[in-house]
Structure 1
Amino acid sequence: MSQHGVGPRAVTRSVAFLTAGVLAVPALAGCGSDDPAGKPLAAPDIQPASRDKIADGGTLRWAVDSVPDTLNTFQSDADATTTRVAQAVLPSMFRMDASGRPERHPAYLESAKVVETEPKQVVLYKLDQQAVWSDGREIGAADFAAQWRALSGKDTAYWTARNAGYDRIQKIERGDSALEVRVTFSRPYADWRSLFSPLYPKDVMGTPDSFNDGARKKLKVTAGPFLVKKVDTENDRITLARNPRWWGEPAKLSAIELRTVPRDKRAAELAAGTLDLAEVDPAAARRITLAARPQSSSSPVMGPGADRSAADDLHSWAVANGSDEDAADEETVARKKLRKAAATYARRQQALRGFEVRKSLEPAFTQLALNGAEGPLADERVRRAVARALDREELAEAVLKPLGLPAVPVGSHLALSGQAAYADNSGALGGQDTEEAQALLADAGWVRGGPVKEQKKDEEKTEKAAGGEGEQAAGSSGADEDDKALGQDPAGRLAQDGKQYKHPHPGGAPGAYAPQGTAAPANQEAAPFAKNGKALTLRFVLPSGPGSQTLRTVADRITRMLQRVGIGTEISKVSDESYFKDHIASGQYDLALYSWPATAYPATDARPVYAKPVPAADGSLSVEQNYTRVGTDQVDQLFDEAVATLDEGKSRSLIRKADSRIWAAAGSIPLFQRPQLLAARKNLANTGAFGLATPVYEDMGFLKKGAKPAAGSSAKGSTAP
């Protein structure tokens, strides 16, 4: 797993880049509705166009992170590309609308509703009469029943990643006709809409062998606007072709080619004309945006040699034409290389003028995780002190404001703004308050400016060895370059000349090195807290890969915020490959940043993320997906009640109460919704940054020559009222 999030309805809630009595649930600030769910912070940005304006045919070349190891979304090694393929080629009874709420998929369902609640809950599905698999067989009860048996958890021969919801089904049978499917539950299940999305044919789900191996590298039978034509592991691409048996609106594209392209190579591939659509990082997005602007003398200079001054050029010319022949030859070669690199960059920039950046917010959020299993953070008061030290608005602004996206902190662990279960419950913990944070630490027995015993050298060596590669000194994240890239200085540490001036004695009391009577400078570190001769220092683990600059910049700001309270940090940068597996999942951290995907079904999907850890049979601690190791019996009970309550209003109320208690326990602090930046060819319609919505694959395509997209309907980073 990665520190980054995956698809909006992943099988397992993969990452990303994860108390107390009755608490009030505050309304979402800034929305003109009484509904605390509000509206999505950013709309989809897909250049919508009516189907009559889209050309028939063409291949969409779409960059992905990998060709997945399996096309079965219900297996543990499924990834975001698995989800993307399933959305295009398989039935889903429900899909997500622009607010991230489930809606009936009209191509498959005429209706689906609870028709009985006593003595058992019964859901009746009425299928579209034209709905058929690509082999011509009608979609029906046999497919529903095969998927239930495979995912019920009763037969361990099926290598399933999850059985939530399917384990509550008692039986599945045909209704009054072949188009009706009756699903009877043994226990009430509020999230019944989460089931059978996607739905696999009985050919895949019918036996353990076909489930375990039959859909890993191929899907012979499908039922979507596209089908899987080829999985090419040698060239790292998957080709989807039009499904001739598709009964809905025919796909505009002839094919979709999902190509594996590393993120740092995507700008070059776009410029080379080998891609039409690619998710990109902020640096590539800025480059594409600048390329699309009319060039003028005031346009920012980028690329090789952009940072050279006139004096640098003059010096280079002088050396190249000087009397020192060796130096002249070396400088001449360097100048030729620079001119060649600049020419290549200019050609690519010209090619990138055919693209634009479409942006929204992902159905995922980045959080600060606090490991409550041991050490100082095992004390809830210390965790709450860390949380009260954070200015979440500042962190959201540092990441989202430079991108032109709404910089609003996430107020829920269990849903995003616009989703039915959302409410801003952060008031259960409280906002940034230095005095309150320090009071919590004092109550936990930590003394501000208390004595610290010198640690033995062998202990220091052991700690460094445990930290992995790239470990740095306490209180330093090494993210200064990332700060410059984002162009933010929330801590107010940059002087007007742009240089950063650090305190000569990090960790010292404010004003300790100024003349007596001088006021302490603003935004400086407080005297560190200590207890039993040990300073309060938390190990902050971060990924070191090239795609993690934003996380490291956020970590640097968090470090400064904690220092101002009196909490030290020790940064450990580890490889991306080991970050989640060897550190987050195994609990080898104090603080960490990673992302969770949001879900329309939090009672089902979020429970394992926040469930109270329990001792396993072998004596270890079973944490499910609760990598912070912080949980309460009350939160578990609220989840259990919410998933068994068929009254949707009551179920949402229970979810919001659970979220308030998760906030109060301070095991994880939601920070901001992840930005979603897609570079798209300008004539590509109905695709791009989808936000919370499920893509409509049959409507994607290239505009006809001279056709214009829908006027005023592309909402780039627009905000909800």
Structure 2
Amino acid sequence: MKVQSKSIAFAALLAVALTACSGGDDGGSGESLKSDELASQAQYNPQPRDNVEDGGTFTRAVGEIPDNLNTLHADKSADTAALSMMYNPQLQLIAEDGALSWNKDYVTDVSEELVDGNRVVTYTINDEAVFNDGTPIDWRAFEALWKVSNGKNEKYAPVSTEGYSLITSVEPGENDKQAVVTYDGPWLWWQSQFKEVIHPDAAKDPETFNTAYTMDAHDEWGAGPYHVKELEPGGTTAVFERNPHWWGNPGKLDEFVFRAMESTAAINAFRNGELDAVSATSAENLAQIEGMEGIDVRKAATLAVTFMHVNASSPKLKDADVRKAVHLGIDRQTLQDVRYDGMGWDAELPGMVTLYPFQEGYRDTYSEIGGGYDPEEAGKLLDGAGWSVGDDGIREKDGEKLQLLFPIIGDASYSKNGAVALQAMLKEIGIDLKLDYRSADEFTDTYTKKDYDLFSLNWGTADPDENFFYFCYFYCSDAGYVDQETIDTYAPVVQEIGQETDKVKAVEAFLQTEKDILSTWQIDPLYTGPTIFAVKEGMANFGADLFFFGPIEDIGWQKG
């Protein structure tokens, strides 16, 4: 399985954790948050379209209006994806229980079969579906996504080639409005592909695909219920209005407005009535909105695991024993307590990244390999690796201090508190953790250039299968979080698992492989957390939605 060697940050899949905005609180009420309860609920005020007003605006914050607005490009960020989805085709929807369905405005039917052992998927495309410039959305849009993502032309820089590299053809079916996708083998995770498509003009050559969306939203290549009214990449505001070219149900809202703000500024803006919703990321933030009238606090589990990337490409972390010592020097329970201080969050510490503790099949593989807090053993490992404690308590080797770089992105106080706690933990075992404070708009550069020794991020998705779809991206590609030795060892293993015809066996094999890769000590699953949104009363079909992902045209203000 070939994986493009580029770095990305997924929307909803990836965001900074200790180092930026995520998670939430107990609503300021002082009551404990029960992880098992939040794992079985979604709070987003679900309303049928008939009970949603026509008109109005919805204003919320993002970390930045990024320079790159190509959500399929390797260097996209979570904010890229959040904005891109507002004016580009979204072919798939997800129910509260995680069940997938296809958006009938784009795809009216999807069928699949095995033909001589090869998966063949046929997508029947809505006759009315067109891009904003009038180009039909047809089989060529599916071919374009395959073209940029299959890895055959390495000049393209896609998010990932997983699955796409196994496709042997994308062809028209009964007519141009039918796309027939044929795989080499039975590829189980096909439903996690073609959730979106791309305008053929945007994929015509690598230069266009890689650069055209830089500093240009290319609204004419979009499609959907909303289109770009105002969006300056690198600016402070993005506005989307109803799309006159849309063929489906019209958007309930007149406009969606996004403001680029740090988390503290966003809370203040919500208090002042400038935002209609805000991520309530800490007890401190919730204290700022406690007592406000006319708001809802909506809670659910977060479909992500906060993990620490111990960067094996860093010179001081090439030795697996040193990486393991870092793991054993981190008290994960304390970090979770610091992150959710005052909120009564009771979740067990995660034992893997691919499944959440409340999902079927989950097990604590991290403990099974000997992960956990053990500073005494960490010290022995560092001694054995030749790092001796100096007069100042910091370890040295060949005249060099054991100093590691840890960036903190954004201005949230819990980020700073967690970083200081981490610094103190590692100092106990003789590691000098250098804290480097950076603004929210520096996240993409920090991540894509891997400008760190340790970095704390989130990984997860609302699609129950997508963590398996992106398994090799995360665990066996240099676009993810592993060294070349791990790539060489496990990429062939994962490719073989992907051709398993029995999903149960495939999942078991993936989880065993994850256990093996965790034992290379490059990924430390730290904790999970809740998602909390403070939202003005009456906002329908938005909030802490767990697995749910519905039509954006149904978001709006509830009648009455």
Is the 1:16–1:596 Cα contact (8 Å) retained in structure 2? no
> Which SS does the other structure have where 1:230 is aligned?
strand
Deviation at 1:587, TM superposition (A): 6.7
2:332 is aligned to 392
Pairs aligned (count): 532
Between the aligned partners of 2:134 and 2:398, the Cα distance in structure 1 is 74
Is the 2:350–2:526 Cα contact (8 Å) retained in structure 1? yes
CA change 1:669–1:252 in 2 (3 A) is same
1:682 is aligned to 537
Deviation at 1:68, TM superposition (A): 2.7
1:611 correspondence with 2:476: yes
Within the candidate set 11, 14, 18, 1:7 is matched to 11
Matched letter for residue 596 of structure 1: W
CA change 1:592–1:204 in 2 (3 A) is closer
CA change 1:285–1:550 in 2 (3 A) is closer
CA deviations over 1:432-482 (Å, ceiling 9, x no partner) = 464xx635754775499x98565xxxxxxxxxxxxxxxxxx868xxxxxxx
Between the aligned partners of 1:531 and 1:288, the Cα distance in structure 2 is 45
1:651 is aligned to 506
CA deviations over 1:262-306 (Å, ceiling 9, x no partner) = 3222233223332212335426632344233xxxxxxxxxxxxxx
> Which SS does the other structure have where 1:666 is aligned?
coil
Deviation at 1:241, TM superposition (A): 1.8
Deviation at 1:97, TM superposition (A): 4.1
CA deviations over 1:543-591 (Å, ceiling 9, x no partner) = 356525324433444455556xx612313121326788569955753x4
1:65 is aligned to 63
CA deviations over 1:23-78 (Å, ceiling 9, x no partner) = xxxxxxxxxxxxxxx99736433222333322111111222222232332122443
1:666 correspondence with 2:528: no
CA change 1:170–1:635 in 2 (3 A) is closer
1:602 correspondence with 2:467: yes
> Which SS does the other structure have where 2:519 is aligned?
helix
After the TM superposition, which residues 292-303 of structure 1 pair with which residues of structure 2 at under 5 Å, given as runs? 292=292
TM-score after normalising by structure 1 = 0.64
2:113 is aligned to 115
CA change 1:687–1:208 in 2 (3 A) is same
Is the 2:69–2:76 Cα contact (8 Å) retained in structure 1? yes
Is the 1:87–1:198 Cα contact (8 Å) retained in structure 2? no
- Structure with the bigger percentage of strand: 2
Please give the root-mean-square deviation of Cα atoms over the aligned residues, in Å: 4.0
1:573 is aligned to 435
Query: % of aligned pairs identical?
Result: 23
CA change 1:105–1:214 in 2 (3 A) is same
CA deviations over 1:611-647 (Å, ceiling 9, x no partner) = 27xxxxxxxxxx4332677737553343222223343
> Which SS does the other structure have where 1:61 is aligned?
strand
Deviation at 1:702, TM superposition (A): 1.0
Is the 1:147–1:206 Cα contact (8 Å) retained in structure 2? no
Deviation at 1:182, TM superposition (A): 0.8
Within the candidate set 482, 495, 500, 1:640 is matched to 495
Between the aligned partners of 2:9 and 2:158, the Cα distance in structure 1 is 21
Is the 1:638–1:654 Cα contact (8 Å) retained in structure 2? no
Within the candidate set 536, 556, 559, 1:701 is matched to 556
CA deviations over 1:369-397 (Å, ceiling 9, x no partner) = 33445777545445445434544344323
Between the aligned partners of 1:660 and 1:76, the Cα distance in structure 2 is 27
Within the candidate set 146, 163, 166, 1:165 is matched to 163
After the TM superposition, which residues 390-429 of structure 1 pair with which residues of structure 2 at under 5 Å, given as runs? 390-400=330-340, 402-403=342-343, 405-417=345-357, 422-429=362-369
CA change 1:241–1:597 in 2 (3 A) is same
Is the 1:474–1:570 Cα contact (8 Å) retained in structure 2? no
1:270 correspondence with 2:270: yes
Between the aligned partners of 2:362 and 2:470, the Cα distance in structure 1 is 15
Between the aligned partners of 2:275 and 2:558, the Cα distance in structure 1 is 17
> Which SS does the other structure have where 1:631 is aligned?
helix
TM-score after normalising by structure 2 = 0.80
After the TM superposition, which residues 483-502 of structure 1 pair with which residues of structure 2 at under 5 Å, given as runs? none
Is the 1:603–1:642 Cα contact (8 Å) retained in structure 2? no
Between the aligned partners of 2:447 and 2:66, the Cα distance in structure 1 is 24
Within the candidate set 397, 406, 409, 1:542 is matched to 406
Between the aligned partners of 1:66 and 1:374, the Cα distance in structure 2 is 28
CA deviations over 1:684-719 (Å, ceiling 9, x no partner) = 1211233444353122111223xxxxxxxxxxxxxx
Is the 2:54–2:253 Cα contact (8 Å) retained in structure 1? yes
1:507 is aligned to none
1:554 is aligned to 418
* Unmatched runs of 5 consecutive residues or more in structure 2: 1-6, 20-35
1:25 is aligned to none
Within the candidate set 367, 381, 389, 2:307 is matched to 367
Between the aligned partners of 1:700 and 1:284, the Cα distance in structure 2 is 29
> Which SS does the other structure have where 1:543 is aligned?
strand
Is the 1:64–1:260 Cα contact (8 Å) retained in structure 2? yes
Between the aligned partners of 2:381 and 2:205, the Cα distance in structure 1 is 59
Between the aligned partners of 2:443 and 2:525, the Cα distance in structure 1 is 19
Between the aligned partners of 2:402 and 2:344, the Cα distance in structure 1 is 33
CA change 1:575–1:374 in 2 (3 A) is closer
Deviates more, 1:188-197 or 1:649-658: 188-197
Between the aligned partners of 1:653 and 1:151, the Cα distance in structure 2 is 27
Is the 2:307–2:456 Cα contact (8 Å) retained in structure 1? yes
1:438 correspondence with 2:376: yes
1:358 is aligned to 298
CA change 1:422–1:128 in 2 (3 A) is farther
